[in-house]
Amino acid sequence: MADIRAQLRFLSVSAQKVRLVVDLVRGKDANTVLEMLRFVPNRAAEPVLKLIKSAVANAEENFGVSRDDLYVATIFADEAPTRKWRRFGARGRFKPLLRRSSHVTVVLSERKD
């Protein structure tokens, strides 16, 4: 069976912050991950939860795989384009602001018992 893959692109949270959430769920069962992410207080947890729900739904609809057999094989967060803003400071200077974003990819696999 092929691996089930889902992507979330241009998430407006930095990749460094998303990796904190992503590292919690790597290698765990899909049902456990869905329950766990509901209670993680990070801002990145909600979009990652939505992404994993989408991947599980894809697996059930397109491949006919049971939700109980799925686990998170790989999940990673890469950097996306950074928006550069500026805030003006004292004495005619300006302070650059970097609004970072990220791409998240999840791959689910079926457990072979």
Q: What CATH number did the domain enclosing 10 receive?
A: 3.90.470.10
Q: What is the pLDDT of residue 112?
A: 83
Tell me the three state secondary structure of residue 9. Answer: strand
Query: What does the block give as tokens for 88?
Result: 């003006």
Residue ranges making up the domain that contains 27: 4-110
Residue entry with tokens 């989408």? 54
- Cβ(82)–Cβ(11) below 8 Å: no
Q: What is the pLDDT of residue 31?
A: 95
The model's pLDDT over 38-76, given as tens digits with 9 standing for 90+, comes to 999 999 999 999 999 999 999 999 999 999 999 999 999
What's the mean per-residue pLDDT of the chain? 94
State how far the Cα of 83 lies from the Cα of 48, in Å rounded to an integer: 22
Alpha-carbon separation of residue 26 from 48, 61, 75, 95, 110 (angstroms): 12, 23, 6, 37, 14
Alpha-carbon separation of residue 29 from 14, 24, 37, 66 (angstroms): 26, 12, 12, 12
- In the chain, how many domains are there? 1
The number of angstroms, rounded, from the C-alpha of 23 to the middle of its chain's C-alpha atoms is 10
